[in-house]
Chain A
């Protein structure tokens, strides 16, 4: 089966619906205003966080090379990351995690994506929560959440077994492996074995091998001398 037919969203653009044709005009100066309001009263983030898409639009940061916003995210992802960075400055450990978790659990798809993409900006006290949220994102079937979950935070903190599962999930969901942070540095012989098995399955089923899977298989040659990693090895 052709790859694009298996993943129709690859041609429909799933970065979160529209830019702004129908929406109210972006509010000038919203990012600065929102950051100020959160500094003054941290609870304001629950009002500001959902507004990011309406205020700055929802287009991918690099539409030419990344039309779905899976690799570099979208402009509203960036705006939400700034809000979370401010929140992390003004709230102590503990309180910060409570609010971040609420933002994620009560968030729509775009808000959840925004939290996942900002995890690497949060302090060490947020790592445990971050791991839970990444696991949640990787359990979904939404490529935008899967891609956001496999960013720098995952590269730094997921254990090797979870991280491999995340990469394979990307291959299944049609998420380009360019979205996986530190792909080359963390790839090990076990991941390549999984990739080979997946390719074999696809060939047997007469399905197309995606360019990303092919590229990963291409690493086999280079990785032949790389020793396997222990399951709990994080780097």
Chain B
């Protein structure tokens, strides 16, 4: 018996720049075949434009190649993140974003949204929503970790006013408290599964039972902090254990991210993976036994 059954996984939010080649290898081993790496904060503040462009260039260059070495298709989203939108030295990056938004593998504008809900964050958020509408790109919206409920509500107001199609907006880092209002808004719901404190795989399964599998994306949001790039796989296992079918797992872990990001027209997936599509409707539940 094989240790793992084939599970096709697309992690729609993971910061691979901060991860090692061992992570890539382990991710591939459990079935991760595609990722989206949103542009975000690096932990250490940037102080100027060229640190941003070097970072963006690595997302569409070196990191994409690194991923391909391990059989993983790497796409990214590009934006000025909310935290650094507060630093006047960084704001000029907004002027160079259009240069990136037409490129292959740039599948959304993001992460944008709120960190501390300042005036500067407001401006960057609104301007980047407009850029996304103008370029016909989906949007990845980060919701704040502090004052989450108020932050999510204000986020949805701004999205509504921007005129962006809610079906092209993914609101991420949700939990039981913020999920209902996003579900009502027509936007996609993103859940980041962390090793401790925040959302875990069992709470995720409970949410999937409540909301169903439509318009829901699950990610590891793994980065340079405490995080686990295999969390998407763990959610798949937990779903099967809770009685979801392999096809439902595939909807959440593969088809939904593909549907959402392919709205950009820029999503790059390896041909072999798409051909693997049928493999996924595997029968039986040996995954359940496999892990134990």
Interface residue ranges, A against B (CB under 8 Å): 8-9, 12-14, 16-19, 21-24, 47, 50-51, 53-54, 106, 108-112, 140-142, 144
Contact = CB atoms under 8 A, between A and B. Distances in A.
Contacts of B262: 22
A106 B99 contact: yes
B70 A12 contact: yes
B104 A108 contact: yes
Contact of B71 (A12, A108, A144): A12
Contact of B271 (A18, A111, A140, A141): A18
Contact of A22 (B64, B69, B274): B274
B69 A54 contact: no
B267 interface: yes
Given A12-B69, A17-B268, A18-B274, 12 more contacts: A8-B70, A14-B68, A17-B64, A18-B73, A47-B102, A50-B104, A54-B104, A108-B104, A108-B105, A109-B65, A111-B103, A142-B65
A63 to B, nearest CB: 11
Nearest to A8: B69
A116 B266 CA distance: 23
Interface string B100-129: 001111000000000000000000000000
B61 A19 contact: no
A9 B266 contact: no
12 contacts: A14-B69, A18-B268, A18-B271, A21-B269, A22-B268, A22-B274, A47-B102, A50-B104, A108-B64, A108-B104, A112-B61, A144-B65
B61 A18 contact: no
Interface in B65-87: 65, 68-71, 73
A22 B274 CA distance: 8
A58 B5 CA distance: 31
Contacts of A110: 104
A106 B57 CA distance: 8
B268 A23 contact: yes
A105 B62 CA distance: 14
Given A12-B68, A108-B104, A23 B265 contact: yes
A111 B103 CA distance: 10
